[in-house]
Amino acid sequence: MLLFRSEETVEKWCATHQLPKRPLINIDQIWALANEWYANRLTVESRRPKPNEMAKIFERIGLTESFWDPKSDKF
C-alpha cells in the first residue's frame, strides 16, 4: 500500500513493477477507512472488522469494485 502524488505516478510505479493498476483511494476515503478501523482501537471492545462488516464499510465509502470484496480471491 503506497501513497502517490498523482494518478500519473501510480501508473509509472505499476509499469516499473509490472503490476496491474488497482482502484485508487482518495484522501477522504482513506481517512474514512482509518476511522472505521481505528477510532476505538485503544478500547476494550476494539477488534478488526469481520469480512461482512468490511464489505459494508467499503460500500458505504464508495469502494465498490470487486477488488474490495474481502471474500473474493479471483484476481
Partner 1 sequence: MESVTPIKLAIYDTFAKTAKAPTVAEIAAKLKLPVVDVQSAFDELHQQRLLVPEPGDATRIRMAPPFSGIGTPFRVTVRGKIYFAPCAWDAYGIAAALHKDVVIDTKDGHTGEPMKLEVKKGKPVPLPYVVHIAVPAAKWWEDIIYT
* Distance of alpha carbon 54 from alpha carbon 33, whole angstroms: 10
Angstrom CA distances, 36 to 12, 45, 57, 60, 69, stand at 31, 14, 7, 11, 17
The HSE-up count of residue 10 (CA atoms within 13 Å, CB side) is 14
Binding-residue pattern over the window 18 to 47 for partner 1, x denoting contact by CB under 8 A: -x-xx-xxxxx-xx-xxx-xxx-xx-x-xx
Binding-residue pattern over the window 56 to 75 for partner 1, x denoting contact by CB under 8 A: --x--------xxxxxxx-x
Binding residues for partner 1, rule: CB under 8 A, are 1-7, 9-10, 12-14, 16-17, 19, 21-22, 24-28, 30-31, 33-35, 37-39, 41-42, 44, 46-48, 54, 58, 67-73, 75
